[in-house]
Amino acid sequence: MDEDFKKEHFTNLSIKAPVAKKFRKYARHLGCSQSMCLLLMLEFFETNRLSPKEQMGPHMQTLERLVKKRISALIAIVRDIEKHQTKPTALMLQTLFENDQTPEESLSDTPKFVERKFQKKQQPKVQFREKKYHP
């Protein structure tokens, strides 16, 4: 028995035998007592505002419509961010990194800096060599 309802008393419900059999099988499938199974089912219907008599189709279509509206709103937010934040920032960065030359600089073809190429140093001539000792 469940700990929360240990001190509670039992009450009889009048239901048809095939329904009771099906319910007991379902409670075993969930792995809980019959009381907890019935309580979980009732709480599910109450929290999701569902009625066992109504079809899930219209309710699911309503949920789908709400989700689509939220997705459309998110797309609009992302587009707005792109339009007002990302593109201007990218343009600013692009202008910063472009090679903007003044007219005077573009006229002179001589570069400001010239790369110097170093020649390899020549090895100094060997003046003294060690004699090899052969015993």
User: What are the Cα distances from residue 7, in Å, to 3, 4, 41?
Assistant: 9, 8, 22
**pLDDT value of residue 7:** 79
Confidence of residue 95 (pLDDT cuts 50, 70, 90): confident
Taking the C-alpha atoms of residue 1 and residue 26, their distance in angstroms, rounded to an integer, is 17
Residue with tokens 């961010």, as numbered in its chain: 81
Give me the mean pLDDT over the 108-126 stretch: 69
Write out pLDDT tens, residues 46-92: 887 777 787 766 667 778 888 899 999 999 999 998 888 888 888 88
**pLDDT value of residue 50:** 77
Q: Which two tokens stand for residue 20?
A: 């009771």
